[in-house]
Structure 1
Amino acid sequence: MRLGPGLLVTAAFIGPGTITTASVAGANFGFALIWTLLFSVIATILLQSMAARLGVATGQDLAQALRANIQTPLFKSLAIFLVISAIGVGSAAYEAGNLSGASMGLIGIFPNVNPQIWTPLIAFLSAGLLYSGKHKVVENALIVLVILMSLVFISTLIMASPSLADILSGFTPSLPEGSITTVLALVGTTIVPYNLFLHSGVLAAKHDSKSDLQKVIKQTNVDTGLSITLGGVITLAILSTASVAFYGTNAGQISAANMAVQLEPLLGDGAHYFFAIGLFAAGLTSAITAPLAGAYAVCGMLGWSNDMASTRFKSVAIIILLFGAAVASLGLDPVAVIIFAQAANGLLLPVITIYLVWLVNQKSVMGKFTNSFILNLVTLPVLMLIFGLSSYKLIGLFF
């Protein structure tokens, strides 16, 4: 089978934010929070496989399915508002961070080049890929970047040489003092609501009612499992490297921007370039997938075509990209927009996951491809976690 759509999800959730969160987790708490990462990966595989199956079985992405199956006008209007606010506006707000992260990577690789050129250049490259409207071109570009990112961070882990016993000890659940916010951040940076729209949208666009849907779903499940596990391994590599380098050293503020420089004493001069390349790849993949996910969500909820080649789809994706580029290039402060997007996400994530589970249990929607009883049972603790995470995020924003 050919890996593809699942790797787009990996490309989307491994961005500068994930690098920072995993680095902070390793630097502040050592290997103790690896169990959180394992739980997050399992939860993400469960939810993404449902979204993917929805796209394969129905030919509709999650946004289109929501619009078609929410009958109450008030609930439908609320769903449209929440999805556009959280996914459309949220993608635009976070796009600035993605472009800035990719630029930081290139500044680290080419320190003597004028740093002002990188953000517009990366935005132009991303816009070119999105405007092509060709799934295969975008997919192949992202697959190459994910492979590059994997090689970089796993190589960095090997150079750091953490003890296998230390890594394995992290799979035993524990909550070190002051770790709850980092635990929730690790979960939140892995279970990303816009990836549900992205994954279902990419597969819905490839829908072929004449194909063997059972076979396609099996292939998609393998693709999803392997791709998201790879994303988990990349995050584990970053967390473990930060743990070896910084845990117990009072290294100060850790971020995606300064991680490369701070690794030099442990890994040598090459670490700077290694990590910078990884940061560039992570920023660029997220800079491409965020507008893509936003376009699927917005177009689906408004009843527009989800064809990547359609004018409306490309326009929404480019607007999201341009907003992020403007914020990143002009040094504007996106805090207000990000707070609004986080609040909308906090409300949206539990609503969307409940609706997703509801949709994939409807025979009228899925036919014979509904969830099994066992799958629903396994999903229950994931839903409870998501409600807890969203409640905590909303309380933290407003109180």
Structure 2
Amino acid sequence: MKKTERIPSLPEVHRTIKVPVGGGFWRKMLAYTGPGYLVSVGYMDPGNWATDLAGGAQFGYMLLSVILFSNLMAILLQALCVKLGVATGRDLAQACRDNYSPRVSFFLWILCEIAIAACDLAELVGSAIALQLLFGIPLAVGVCITALDVLMVLFLQSKGFRYVEALVITIIAVIGGCFIVELIAARPDLAGVLQGFIPQSEVVRNPTALYISIGILGATVMPHNLYLHSSIVQTRDWQEIPEKKREAIKFGMIDSSVALSIALFINAAILILSAATFHFSGHQDVAEIQDAYKLLSPVLGFAPASILFAIALLASGQNSTLTGTLAGQIVMEGFLQIRLKPWLRRLLTRLVAIVPALLTIVFLGEGSTTNLLIMSQVILSLQLSFAVIPLVMFTSDRRLMGEFVNPRWLKVLAYAVATVIVGLNAWLLWETFLGWL
């Protein structure tokens, strides 16, 4: 291992949140609650909405099992992030820098920056679509307005990390509340929903269902979330002894598992809403967010349905952009040990996303936004393997992890999940590029 100066991850918030030494389970759980929710927003960002909408409209509740399976894989990978951050005191970017050559580290950094910009593009376009649906603002103008969220990020960071976590959790509650109301109005078939969580062979036999399923799986795990989680878990100030590290890992895993279960509910709710509203009413061709917005209220006979849908979309886009800022800072500091002022880092990321979004909307029209969202997911898929494989390798290495190394059963499971993700993303990319040719 190369000797590297051990600068803490996100030094301005590193170990700033106190953890009670004594106290009961719930008091400690409250202290550790937060990082998992920041990570979970990446699993419900606007980039996931199109696949969930298309899956529900075309195949009813059948693809709920795919959402469940992909979420279980995400829970496993985020748990590994907690282990890495707590056991080594390094985030994934720093671990890559410590263990790989400068050339390899620089290559991984470039890939991660591209992935963050692609994710930012999806969030920016999703927010702009929501502003257009709610207020009639042209997409090009909405894209520029969403760039101003840098001011909100800067304000929260100056107040402290708990304020960032509190805002994210509040926005997640808004999204969840919107979909609870929507589902009550849609009145889905409960027996059909429960059956949808049971895997069916039709998913594999039907080429279209398989393609959408792989789209859901491929877009579920956000590569920047792996870097993010392994860093922000270190905002908690546990004692540097094995017993307290085990405690931090336990509560960190509970935090992320609960938060990702909420993300599972929201993703499933999008698909259930689409199935109950469109699939069983003869609107199986609905795939775009704008089309879903226009049809929701008339088909359901519930006037606020479309408005609630757009509010949830706007909240989803704004929530995801908060975590994108932190992830960008983490990977630049971890891979390169370069620190930029938060406003400059955010501005650079936003510019990389704004330019292609504006050019596409201006020259190809507002109807091109769906293709833009798909392109962003393809770019994320390209980078994902380069984040998942190092994470599994590091947490399975006793030299790095010591007594916290993955046991044999977890190694086998983690490598199996990594293989599935790599294989499905490779297939998805191949099919996508064939479709573009």
TM-score of the alignment, normalized to the shorter chain, above 0.5: yes
> By how many angstroms is 1:121 displaced?
3.4
Aligned Cα root-mean-square deviation (Å): 2.8
**SS of aligned partner of 2:184:** helix
Q: Which residue of the partner structure matches residue 25 of structure 1?
A: 55
Equivalent-residue separation in structure 2 for 1:17 and 1:93 (angstroms): 10
Q: How does 1:299-314 map to 2 (within 5 A)?
A: 299-304=333-338, 311-312=340-341
The residue identity in structure 2 corresponding to 1:121 is I
Equivalent-residue separation in structure 2 for 1:208 and 1:166 (angstroms): 46
> By how many angstroms is 1:146 displaced?
0.9
The residue identity in structure 1 corresponding to 2:337 is G
Q: Deviations over 1:337-381 (max 9, x none)?
A: 989976764454234322211111223322322212222233243
Q: Which residue of the partner structure matches residue 80 of structure 1?
A: 106
- Cα gap change, 1:63 to 1:104, in 2 (>3 Å): same
The residue identity in structure 2 corresponding to 1:242 is S
**2:347 aligned with 1:318:** yes
Contact 1:14 1:235 in 2 (8 A): yes
Q: Which residue of the partner structure matches residue 12 of structure 2?
A: none
Equivalent-residue separation in structure 1 for 2:291 and 2:58 (angstroms): 16
> By how many angstroms is 1:294 displaced?
2.8
**SS of aligned partner of 2:147:** helix
Equivalent-residue separation in structure 1 for 2:424 and 2:318 (angstroms): 27
Equivalent-residue separation in structure 1 for 2:35 and 2:237 (angstroms): 13
Q: Deviations over 1:63-85 (max 9, x none)?
A: 00111022xx3xx5234313422
Q: Which residue of the partner structure matches residue 257 of structure 2?
A: 225
- Cα gap change, 1:88 to 1:131, in 2 (>3 Å): farther
**2:121 aligned with 1:89:** no
> By how many angstroms is 1:96 displaced?
2.8
- Residue among 262, 271, 277 paired with 1:245: 277
Contact 1:84 1:298 in 2 (8 A): no
The residue identity in structure 1 corresponding to 2:113 is G
Equivalent-residue separation in structure 1 for 2:83 and 2:167 (angstroms): 24
How many residues are matched? 388
Q: Deviations over 1:109-138 (max 9, x none)?
A: 334x67765443332124431465342232
> Which deviates more, 187-196 or 235-244?
187-196
**2:179 aligned with 1:146:** no
**2:385 aligned with 1:353:** no
- Sequence identity percentage: 29
**2:145 aligned with 1:121:** yes
Query: Could you say which structure has the larger radius of gyration?
Result: 2
Equivalent-residue separation in structure 2 for 1:123 and 1:108 (angstroms): 18
- Cα gap change, 1:39 to 1:115, in 2 (>3 Å): closer
**SS of aligned partner of 1:222:** helix
**SS of aligned partner of 2:406:** coil
Contact 1:56 1:207 in 2 (8 A): no
Q: Which residue of the partner structure matches residue 43 of structure 1?
A: 73
5+ residue gaps, structure 1, are 305-309
> Which deviates more, 280-289 or 227-236?
280-289
Equivalent-residue separation in structure 2 for 1:293 and 1:137 (angstroms): 17
Contact 1:296 1:313 in 2 (8 A): no
- Residue among 263, 285, 295 paired with 1:262: 295
- Residue among 378, 397, 409 paired with 1:362: 397
Equivalent-residue separation in structure 2 for 1:356 and 1:207 (angstroms): 23
**SS of aligned partner of 1:60:** coil
